Structure 1
């Protein structure tokens, strides 16, 4: 399409600006000749209105009102090629054009409106042809990107490079960048770049942010709409994939809760889903009206790359990495009023069902204390002196030895063996160091790490008692390795 300024710059047309030249950036999508007294009834947004002036009122006051009604149609500009006897444009009318930034152009009566209209229409048709070609190139580039790049971010970068722009997709509510074509998405955009935000349809809750450098970048609305449509399809595909992952995760949690599956066997599967390191169980009481519902929480920003396994029971249960970032994302997404109970580290010895029990107990205590999140064991629940069941034995091992077992598994250390040997030797530092074949200072370091992980001091009477009872219960119930 052509702008009003480009029309003025076409010498062969002989147009000159009279008023409202601050609006010459407007695009023209058609040319319409009309000499009726009410042209606003016959023109539409983007039209170039051409008149010989016979329909313009003679009174300055009526001219002002006439121009205001015409400008309300959002037409692009008015070209006046006055014939003999046509009223003169009043000062008040021209001042109104300046105020409304509505371009009024002058031409000689000899100007053939057909010639002007042909120039405009040819420009429009040429723009449409270029738009069609650009859309074809866009879809061709997209098809090639799908063949060459398996990940969405790679395809986004290809599309951005082809269009000569920078693209990012942001969460509509928080403004968090979900995907970016730039390899450094958090880098501040150049000051010479202009940004445009376009809402992406569907259930994505996201905006496409287009940054263009000056003197570059297509602003063709057809191309932009095509781009938004392609990305909407991509995002919907990702959301469907996350829906499927949630269903698979819920099935796995049901199996673990029924003891149909051993936790040791699901570890590789969890690692493939990005759930590595120390894992915990969460019992979540969601807020009544948060940004994301419990049924959609797996789509929330911050949880999309390493989504916890989720299962909706009387509360929302989750198997998650023990990271503050994940907990913050859940609290932020479910809204103020959400409460989370956090189990101790899940281990093969304690089992998954025990971690669920711990999380539920921590949730009840968190609600009673009116706190946002509480870890199991932060509110002391008393010491079971002689466990009467396997469940009580699991609880003891999980509470006092779980952090050590999980640390040994992840970091290939031997804190549990060290603690056991220290207690067996009645707290004798020299004998323990000798039995383990380590320096005394190494033993000091290990026992300090035990204290940091469990909150209990192995050299204190209370710590010795609790650790010994937990170790005895674990060995009797065959929950601990033989060497422990």
Structure 2
């Protein structure tokens, strides 16, 4: 460990350094010198490192300059050396006074002294520290290699090596990724997610998490496609060596990406199986091995329906919580197959992210799962109709809609039967056109755009619909009948939409 201090650098006249504030801190150790012009340099340096800047990172206003000194001193930075090349804004008296109060050295460096001279001087004095860091780096990569061979996870082993409890949090969905045996406190997760809300596109490099009056953890952004942060437990702003932290972040980021890709492949394979089950093209014997892999074989199942837009949320939340399931998309809805005994847990987890869920009745027979999908669709329509978060098949009903699949079939046929038959006979899309037209509040422009047809084609189709059904798309009573029949038709039909 180097014994070089800020005062030693000032004493070396050839370096051209002069103290302008914080002389009470000249005995601070300097183990490295780092040039940084970012607006938050304290996030990019570690304890006992000297900040070298031309002044670009120094804000212009007095209050922000004072905050800069407080952040740097709070992070344990050795001092700040400002180049004397007229790029820095005027240093406010209040800033220099704050540096004196905190014993935080502020130096000016002659324009004739390149920062590389300062850096080389510190590097020569810190060679033993660099050797130590290289040894630590070697240990970190050995931990990553051996974690694949051991029962303990990479996070567990890196936590032991770095001396902090490490966790990975998906701040978009408030889930713990690569979960350890000891899980992070739920209050810490909530506070972290609250702090980064609205900043998911650019997560902060480093963020102290306060609960009450105390810092309980420190979070660091991870280089992953998912919105994840590495969280280190600690009752004060965690002092992790920047060199070791950078490599730990990379190792953990790689592990998160690897696990995410594996899960995505499993989800796609599961969707193919689920669709085959719904289509009736795979039997119990063929499905059994895959259901065993997922952990939902030889049990009673339920199917949960939700809006298709929420498929990623469903897969992320259940995957991070290690809930066995299969999921798929059928038209405008997504469906989830899982063990009945995990239903309450799943609905609790998903209710925070998805406005409406429809739950089928239970079944222990693979051949009955297509019926379960229709039941889940029916229940989802019930939840949408009365604004419920969760609706279960046969215990809730959409207002004015049939309560059973059989009734739904007859209700749809009563209004749309001739239209359905016409579509099947002539391969037309009149049902789709009517549903799109009503869903988009009878907007001609929006309907034509979504169906990718000309407005004249839309006009022709609507006239055909009115001629075949004997109902008008302008009459409120007929529109209500059309809409309810379309919902009943959507509930009653099975297979792919």
Query: Is 1:316–2:334 an aligned residue pair?
Result: yes
2:308–2:329 Cα contact (<8 Å) kept = no
Give the ranges of 4+ consecutive aligned residues of structure 1 lying more than 4 Å apart after TM superposition. Answer: 1-4, 8-18, 21-28, 92-96, 114-119, 184-194, 212-215, 301-304, 380-385
SS in structure 2 of the partner of residue 224 of structure 1: helix
**1:233-382 to 2 correspondences below 5 Å:** 233-263=254-284, 266-267=287-288, 269-275=290-296, 277-286=299-308, 293-295=310-312, 297-300=314-317, 304-314=321-331, 315-322=333-340, 323-333=343-353, 335=354, 338-348=355-365, 351-379=368-396
Using the TM superposition, give the Cα deviation of residue 195 of structure 1 relative to its aligned residue in structure 2, in angstroms. 3.1
SS in structure 2 of the partner of residue 351 of structure 1: helix
Match of 1:76 among 79, 90, 107: 79
1:172–1:207 Cα contact (<8 Å) kept = yes
1:166–1:182 Cα contact (<8 Å) kept = no
SS in structure 1 of the partner of residue 361 of structure 2: coil
- TM-score, normalised by the number of residues in structure 1: 0.54
Using the TM superposition, give the Cα deviation of residue 219 of structure 1 relative to its aligned residue in structure 2, in angstroms. 2.6
Which residue does the alignment assign to 1:46?
51
CA offset digits 1:123-182 (Å, max 9, x no partner):
344443332221112112221222223xxx622211211222221111213544334556
Work out the CA distance in 1 between the residues paired with 2:373 and 2:117: 80
Seen in structure 2, the aligned counterparts of structure 1 residues 144 and 379 have a Cα distance that, compared at 3 Å, is closer
Looking at CA atoms only, which structure, 1 or 2, has the larger radius of gyration?
1
Work out the number of aligned pairs and report it. Answer: 325
Using the TM superposition, give the Cα deviation of residue 363 of structure 1 relative to its aligned residue in structure 2, in angstroms. 2.0
Work out the CA distance in 2 between the residues paired with 1:115 and 1:268: 66
Match of 1:206 among 209, 220, 228: 228
Work out the CA distance in 2 between the residues paired with 1:366 and 1:156: 41
Work out the CA distance in 2 between the residues paired with 1:23 and 1:211: 29
2:308–2:334 Cα contact (<8 Å) kept = yes
Which residue does the alignment assign to 1:394?
none
2:224–2:256 Cα contact (<8 Å) kept = no
CA offset digits 1:395-426 (Å, max 9, x no partner):
xxxxxxxxxxxxxxxxxxxxxxxxxxxxxxxx
Seen in structure 2, the aligned counterparts of structure 1 residues 352 and 194 have a Cα distance that, compared at 3 Å, is closer
Work out the CA distance in 2 between the residues paired with 1:230 and 1:364: 45
Which residue does the alignment assign to 1:147?
149
Query: Is 1:197–2:200 an aligned residue pair?
Result: no
Using the TM superposition, give the Cα deviation of residue 339 of structure 1 relative to its aligned residue in structure 2, in angstroms. 2.1
Q: Which runs of 5+ in 1 are unaligned?
A: 33-43, 50-63, 80-91, 107-113, 288-292, 389-484
Using the TM superposition, give the Cα deviation of residue 299 of structure 1 relative to its aligned residue in structure 2, in angstroms. 2.2
1:48–1:76 Cα contact (<8 Å) kept = no
CA RMSD of aligned residues (A): 4.9
Using the TM superposition, give the Cα deviation of residue 203 of structure 1 relative to its aligned residue in structure 2, in angstroms. 1.5
Q: Which runs of 5+ in 2 are unaligned?
A: 36-48, 55-61, 73-77, 83-90, 109-115, 189-210, 410-497
2:217–2:236 Cα contact (<8 Å) kept = no
Work out the CA distance in 2 between the residues paired with 1:31 and 1:240: 36
